[in-house]
Amino acid sequence: DTEVTQTPKHLVMGMTNKKSLKCEQHMGHRAMYWYKQKAKKPPELMFVYSYEKLSINESVPSRFSPECPNSSLLNLHLHALQPEDSALYLCASSQDTGKTQYFGPGTRLLVL
């Protein structure tokens, strides 16, 4: 089983809202990732968690705040987003960093 689940599938939020994206995997993977993907572009890495600790932050604005409560769960907290943050947000996991990454279906975010 190589399933990564993400909720919600779609999200519409205003620039003053606070919302969270959730990602879950039950494969025993110890590395989890957040990516942002704009239309017709490849995914861009945002954050990497390894053994529940943040190991990479790709200079992401502080209005995006990741959290890894346990080895199966990864959240992305959103606050005061801009319309240009509208995108597909993808979560991925792998056995360890450097191993094959498996992606979830994504959350399509629209910021109004």
Partner 1 sequence: AQSVTQLDSQVPVFEEAPVELRCNYSSSVSVYLFWYVQYPNQGLQLLLKYLSGSTLVKGINGFEAEFNKSQTSFHLRKPSVHISDTAEYFCAVSESGNTGKLIFGQGTTLQVKP
**Chain residues that interact with partner 1, rule: CB under 8 A:** 2, 4, 6, 31, 33, 40-43, 45, 48, 50, 55-56, 90, 92, 94, 96-98, 100-106, 108
Judge whether 55 and 66 are in contact, CB under 8 Å. no
Measure the N-to-C terminal CA separation of the chain; round to a whole number of Å.
37
Q: How far is the CB of 91 from partner 1 (least distance, A)?
A: 8
Which one, 69 or 98, has the nearer CB to partner 1?
98
Q: In the block, which residue shows the tokens 């790709």?
A: 58
Strands 10-13 and 107-111, by their bridges, are parallel
Task: State the nearest-atom distance from the C-beta of 41 to partner 1, in Å.
Answer: 7
